Structure 1
Amino acid sequence: MKADTSILSADAKIALATEGLTKAWGGFVANSDVNFSLPVGARHALIGPNGAGKTTFINMLTGVLSPTSGRVLLGGEDVTNDPQEKRVRKGIARTFQINNLFPGLTVLESVLLAILERRNEAGHWFRPLRTHVPELEEALDLICELGLEAQAGEEVRTLAYGKQRLVEIALALATRPRILLLDEPAAGIPAGESTEVFSVIAKLPSEVSILFIEHDMDLVRRFSERITVLVGGKVLTEGTPDDVMSDPRVREVYLGEGGHD
């Protein structure tokens, strides 16, 4: 996933952006005046300490929450007032900190159902598989792309947690997104499995723009091109992994290094 980490050109095509995005509940401000842009094809990490407002920010991008003020722009189009399902149809997909799957279905059935939902044919889910040949082929291709072919016939609830996270990513990709938002994709996964998950993410098509929340700084450094740091709901800094990791403010508030000599 890691590619050219040079400063992005001013004319880079922007897939997703926010202008002055703010979310407050009474006197509590979760996000404050967040200006952010995600170029087409970007691999961008969003980091910050617990309570920094990262998930709230993702929830506003996807329409789970409405901002108190500010705008969300998808390819330059204002989608601030669009509901979740409309944003999905326009190309935004996301995963969650805790996976949100169909535990009683097989991997193949789960991905097939997601494809049928995208095609507005989920109501025909219980028809024989031979009536869904194009969708079945697409599901199998996607499963193979994510390295899940050996688990295609297994029920999701029987899989190791790392494999379940890959199934969740497969379901998101079944919507054919332009933008993929990953909320801690490695959460709860042993180190070896988390590397596998990110290795699969690294191989996703370059036209899919990816924004991911992650606490494991080794994974962030290896798999992101740029990093935005949120602290107290505000953008503290943004830059390449090397620039961000060497920033003393980041080391103090996020990496746990004190500001004393």
Structure 2
Amino acid sequence: MKSIVQATLFVLVCVGTYYVYLAFQAPKDTLSVTKLRQHQTGKKPPKRSSHPPKDIPPPQSDILQKPKDVPKPPKDTPDLLKDIPDLPKDKPDLLKDIPDLPKDKPDLHKDIPDLPKDKPDLPKVTPPPPITVQSPSLSRGWGDEIHWIETYNEALLKAKSSQKPLMVIHHLEQCPVCKKLKAVFSTNEAIQKMAKENFIMFNIMNETGDKNLAPDGYYVPRIMFIDPSLTIRLDITGKRPQHKYTYFADDIPLLLENMQKAKLFLNTEL
């Protein structure tokens, strides 16, 4: 087996050496595969004709040559711009025919008659005194023409500064006794006038937080009077011993009498 491999390598080396020899013996510019085949087969290729074929057109360089017999232009060339008139050097004044505007502006107000300097005597209207109607949200049906104070603290300050007694009405919307008392209270002219002129008015559907306004318990309706000295008038009561400060619809005369008492201030230094 070893001898067969050695013999194969020897044959390949010999063939390669032979082709290298041929390559160095032949000229470089004529070495080609065709000549190698010719050398192997021993046949010569056909000779090429030295004359070009007749049907081949001449090279393009001959076509692009300048023709010899080119006619020259005539010496006397007609002046084509001769008959075109020259433009005027002086520009025409296009605004010449437009008339000038008048320098003096016309008086547009000339024909308007002057207003009389003396104003005519018009009848004077005396405005009525302002009417302050309390919001129904604060009156809650106890009298819309009465000025009701929004908060308890504000009512106390107002009573002290205005030197008027404060009237506090505790009530509830669902209370039937309160509804009947409210209907009579809001329609009684004497009570409405005295409340509007001589009292600081405050009505509330919740408790104020001042325990002094509930000396005998929390119930409704309950009406308390406070002196301008900020002293609660516990001496002004209704006619029911269990609830001293409650009033029913038929107690309106007694309430009017108690309002007269509340107008008399206590002998207390403010």
TM-score, normalised by the number of residues in structure 1: 0.19
Greater relative contact order (Cα < 8 A, sep 6+): 1
Compare CA radii of gyration and give the structure with the larger one: 2
